[in-house]
Structure 1
Amino acid sequence: MKPEMETRERDEISSLPNLNSMQFSALISSNLTWVFFLFFFINFFSLSQSDPRISVASLFCGNSTPPPNTNYVPTFVKEMEVLSQLVATNHWGHNVANSTPPIYGLAQCFQDLSHTDCLLCYAASRTKLPRCLPHLSARIYLDGCFQRYENYSFFNESVDPIRDSVNCSSSYGDAIGDEAFSSEFRKNVGDLVDNVTRIAAANKGFGVVEAKGVFGLAQCWKTVSRDGCRECLEKAGKEVRKCVPSKEGRGLNAGCYLRYSTEKFYNDEAEEVNKHSGNSLIGYGIAIALAGAAFFMLSLSAAYAGYVRFSKLKEERENLGQVSTLYNKSSLNFKYETLEKATDYFDSSRKIGQGGAGSVFKGTLPGGKTVAVKRLLFNSRQWVDEFFNEVNLVSGIQHKNLVKLLGCSIEGPESLLVYEYAPNKSLDQFLFDKDKIQILNWNQRFNIVLGTAEGLAYLHGGSQVRIIHRDIKSSNILLDENLTPKIADFGLARCFAADKTHLSTGIAGTLGYMAPEYLVRGQLTEKADVYSFGVLVLEIVCGRTNNASIEDSGSLLHIVWKLYRTDRLADCVDPCLENDFPEKEASRVLQLGLLCTQASVACRPSMDEVVQMLTNKDCEMPLPNQPPYLNASMLQPNRSIRSSGINSLVSNILAKLEASDTSTESSFMQTSDGLSKSQELQQK
């Protein structure tokens, strides 16, 4: 297995188990009276005396979550306490919690707010932000303050192309209706935005302006530079102009906040309210009450997160317990100490491969048998899923072209899988390494193609279960001492019943080998493996990887198809063979590769049919249609997808992938562009 960067499939936070409903209801009921009194007190007193502008303009929660067994929520609570002290003293603050993962936090009140209103606004933001826990990032825009936390340093960010947004909603009535007045209103808003941006950029990031019945406020965060402030406000200004004819608009960017309104919403004299001691005392009382509410919400969130984590850990241990009971009583069980000694305590000199799920080491058992020991990374729920796949699927099937699972160990500090050892390692080292182990001759290549096809045919229907591998590629084809191919790495494999036509599952696999209909829709059938096999066949015959541009002429599928159209398939064969191959047979195998990589799922042959075409030269082979070759710019080595989904942008290109078999080349290239854009968004 060649080193590669892979992001494994994992569950979304929305799928986590919920608190027991009775426990949750009891917890809420015990505090309901106090919470009701608190909010009655806030609404009756504070809002009648001042306006802390605690309306939520936007709340954004990130997607990533912390690794299991980390004290993320307690660290988050401490970070909020530090920010509270800074805001109470300075009107704003930023801090870093040097934990794993780290927490970078920022909170800031708008400059026109009084000290009391600032405390009220910040307290309100603290009660709402924990809704995003345990996600690693969140930001909340209130009309009087801003708060954000991340697992990376964002303090100098002025704009964010992905998450910057605009809010055109208004609490002051409908949009401007009169067309003539609307045109004038648009001009007034534009003038106001220009003026308030200029003033804020020159005035330490803050400015307010009134012009012809339109009021505006601009506020940059203290951590953003002057140039960054100007850039942020200019972008926000362009966006809020689009809100017209709405009576109100807000630009909500990474480094600033910009608002216009037909009603005056900001304070002329920020400290005016502090002149009245009675109001000040009420304000401090309210701030204390809201701080109590914030503490309550955080405690509740921490309890929930703890319960979820405990439930997941309990479930995983129960699953492992079942496996442990099963394999402790079978010949598949290995003692951890035995495998540790067999690999010289996992010495680096024994390491023969590295994958996304862990490292592989060469080991020698006490009886002298050489084995491959896969050392699994125990760092997330996906570990359990992949362990179950490897053990349950591979141990139940036996075929000469499938790597054989000899056993496992799950009682030690880490879990280990033991496989038969393939001394010639993986196919990609023969095909693509600069310093090739040896040059494979034509017969060896043909036998590897045939053996891999037979192994896949067995997976798809030769045993009691139907299994789809999902990650057929050269690095997952191991070669024994006789160069017999053995399909390996079943961590992503899926099995399904005979009455099922497909599975709907998260996208997983390696770009360049993934069937286009699976990449777009997530509907998995055996034909996804057929497509991957077709790409592999072309790579074996041509000696070139599909995941690279060749003389900027496009992907390997593109090149083979063009030569097929001009009846020059033999020109594709690996030059290392020096024309020592049967031209007719090589062209037939390449044509088979094109058949397997057709865009139409129905037109691809089954693996049983593939085996028949390879073993019976008299078997008629259909003519292939154009494959959905992709732009070489997106097919870069080691770009793998191991996630629960892909950006919804690809959905609008599905029709192109389901087009007729005579689709034009341009339509497929447009499809490829769409997939490239979706990948770029996902990486961001």
Structure 2
Amino acid sequence: MVLLIIVARWLYKFIQKRKAIKLKQKLFTRNGGSVEKTKLFTSKELEKATDNYHANRVLGEGGQGVVYKGMLSEGKIIAIKKSKIVDESKFEEFINEVILLSQISHRNVVQLVGCCLETEVPLLVYEFVSNGNLFQYLHDQNEEFPFTWELRLRIAFEVSSVLTYLHSAASIPIYHRDIKSTNILLDENFRVKLSDFGTSRSIAVDQTHLTTQVKGTFGYLDPEYFWSSQFTEKSDVYSFGVVLAELLTGQKPIRSTDVEEDISLAAYFLCAMKENRLFEILDARVMKEGEKEEIMTIANLTRKCLDLNGKNRPTMREVTTELGGIRSSRCGSSMHHMNIEETNFVHGELTTYFENSLTFAR
């Protein structure tokens, strides 16, 4: 029995090692060799960093997996994503995320620190983003930290900026495919860190859409994509429109009511706009702090993003221009008519006069 146990343990370790080698080879092949730049952690390192994945280290949990907070031996704080499900699709998402994040360098995208290939389910290691996600602040508001109109505007601008970068300024255009408030993380200065690129896709420059199995989150999913299975850059625009509606109303993407069936925030918002009831559904803080004209401008922008016909939606570049104009006018700047083409993307960052002169007090 003792001999059998020893042999079984040896076999298990041998199989896991073989899996790790095969996965590394697959990553290397798919990524043209650049996976070598990604740090590989051992399973023991990450177990030690998380106190064996102790419950008090859990940062967040969803249907697909758990994110843990960890500390490396040198004192660096990290976040570790561990999938609950062992299947081929999760394996492909893991590979996809490593490949894409190794190609993206942008200050508003969460940084991939490394990964672990020794475990049954590969693990992803990210920089730790200290202030949680946008969903928490919008839907669990408290008076200790008022989520101001100014902060909402800045977050909207930063998310649109990073999507503009992904769509039209990255070395290879990238569609995120799962824009939602839980994937918009906030750092210690409440700067945006866009996360979760597992279902994202890079496309050829001359491509206009991807025909894929429908993936996304109910409430944020582009209806046109749902009907056709064709994902375009305008599908990300629709999802961003839902986030804008959340920022304006403080409502969740799916509204539960006693008198009617659950209704999407997008449909609820569009109906209110059509019936001139916008100011009845706005978040109290937005009503208190926002200028009526700028609220209406953003509401109209939201309506355009949520248009059921993708061709009628603006591009993310146009969205960023409009949001930047609103922010500049708030600061008394003359930059309202600045063209987004004047933007200079340096090392994957949107470095504009907006970012230099409109940074609001931290």
Q: Same fold (TM over 0.5)?
A: yes
Which of 555, 575, 591 is the matching residue for 2:284? 575
Instruction: Report the alpha carbon displacement of residue 342 of structure 1 after superposing the two structures with TM.
Output: 1.0
Instruction: Report the alpha carbon displacement of residue 413 of structure 1 after superposing the two structures with TM.
Output: 4.6
Aligned equivalent of 2:214? 507
Q: Does the aligned pair in 2 maintain the 1:402–1:488 contact within 8 Å? A: yes
The answer to whether structure 1 residue 535 and structure 2 residue 242 are counterparts is yes
Aligned equivalent of 2:11? none
Instruction: Report the alpha carbon displacement of residue 552 of structure 1 after superposing the two structures with TM.
Output: 4.3
Instruction: Report the alpha carbon displacement of residue 619 of structure 1 after superposing the two structures with TM.
Output: 5.6
CA distance in 2, matches of 1:402, 1:488: 6
- Which residue identity does 1:590 align to in structure 2? A
3-state SS, counterpart of residue 359 of structure 1:
strand
Q: Does the aligned pair in 2 maintain the 1:327–1:333 contact within 8 Å? A: no
The answer to whether structure 1 residue 590 and structure 2 residue 299 are counterparts is yes
Q: 1:595 to 1:520 in 2, by over 3 A?
A: same
> C-alpha deviations, 1:103-132, integer Å up to 9, x for none?
xxxxxxxxxxxxxxxxxxxxxxxxxxxxxx
Q: Does the aligned pair in 1 maintain the 2:35–2:99 contact within 8 Å? A: no
Between 1 and 2, higher relative CO (CA 8 Å, sep ≥ 6) is seen in 2
3-state SS, counterpart of residue 124 of structure 2:
strand
Aligned equivalent of 1:368? 75
Q: 1:563 to 1:339 in 2, by over 3 A?
A: same
Can you give the 5+ residue segments of structure 1 that lack an aligned partner in the other structure?
Answer: 1-313, 621-684
> C-alpha deviations, 1:658-681, integer Å up to 9, x for none?
xxxxxxxxxxxxxxxxxxxxxxxx
The answer to whether structure 1 residue 323 and structure 2 residue 27 are counterparts is yes
**Normalization by structure 2: what TM-score?**
0.78
Aligned equivalent of 1:450? 157
The answer to whether structure 1 residue 517 and structure 2 residue 224 are counterparts is yes
Aligned equivalent of 2:52? 345
Aligned equivalent of 1:599? 308
Q: 1:330 to 1:619 in 2, by over 3 A?
A: closer
3-state SS, counterpart of residue 373 of structure 1:
strand
Q: Does the aligned pair in 2 maintain the 1:502–1:525 contact within 8 Å? A: yes
3-state SS, counterpart of residue 39 of structure 2:
coil
Can you give the 5+ residue segments of structure 2 that lack an aligned partner in the other structure?
Answer: 1-17, 327-335, 339-362
Q: Does the aligned pair in 1 maintain the 2:219–2:266 contact within 8 Å? A: no
CA distance in 2, matches of 1:511, 1:378: 20
Over the matched positions of the two proteins, sequence identity in percent amounts to 37
> C-alpha deviations, 1:438-466, integer Å up to 9, x for none?
33100111111111111111111211111
The answer to whether structure 1 residue 560 and structure 2 residue 269 are counterparts is yes
Give the total of aligned pairs: 307
CA distance in 2, matches of 1:555, 1:504: 25
Q: 1:450 to 1:429 in 2, by over 3 A?
A: same
Q: 1:589 to 1:475 in 2, by over 3 A?
A: same
Instruction: Report the alpha carbon displacement of residue 352 of structure 1 after superposing the two structures with TM.
Output: 0.6
3-state SS, counterpart of residue 37 of structure 2:
coil
5 Å-filtered alignment, 1:43-442, equals 318-323=22-27, 329-330=36-37, 332-377=39-84, 379-433=86-140, 438-442=145-149
- Which residue identity does 1:444 align to in structure 2? L
> C-alpha deviations, 1:207-246, integer Å up to 9, x for none?
xxxxxxxxxxxxxxxxxxxxxxxxxxxxxxxxxxxxxxxx
Instruction: Report the alpha carbon displacement of residue 603 of structure 1 after superposing the two structures with TM.
Output: 0.7
**Normalization by structure 1: what TM-score?**
0.42
Aligned equivalent of 1:608? 317
Q: Does the aligned pair in 2 maintain the 1:360–1:375 contact within 8 Å? A: yes
Instruction: Report the alpha carbon displacement of residue 517 of structure 1 after superposing the two structures with TM.
Output: 1.1
Aligned equivalent of 2:184? 477
Instruction: Report the alpha carbon displacement of residue 602 of structure 1 after superposing the two structures with TM.
Output: 0.9
